[in-house]
Amino acid sequence: MNEEIMRKAGFGKEVDRVKEGKCPSCGKKIDTTIEFRDEVSVHEYMISGMCQKCQNEVFRK
């Protein structure tokens, strides 16, 4: 995630949440050692910072 671009786009609050280890979508504190069910989810977390539950909702088909 490019922090400066995100802030300019109006996502400053979300960027701050990710920096605190929280999901940018729901604000839940994420424990990376227990949160994710598989490597795909961990990879998505690296990109979006979202917790497992929010990933499920976003990517639900």
State which of residues 6, 25, 35, 41 lies at the interface with Zn ion (CB under 5 A).
25
**Binds Zn ion (CB under 5 A): choice among 5, 9, 26, 58:** 26
Kindly state the number of chain residues that form the binding site for Zn ion, as judged by CB under 5 A: 6
* Separation CA 13–CA 38 (nearest Å): 27
Tokens standing for residue 42: 């961990």
**Shortest reach from residue 41's CB to Zn ion, in Å:** 12
Cα 30 to Cα 53, 55, 58, 61, distances in angstroms: 11, 13, 17, 24
Residue from 15, 23, 44, 45 that binds Zn ion (CB under 5 A)?
23
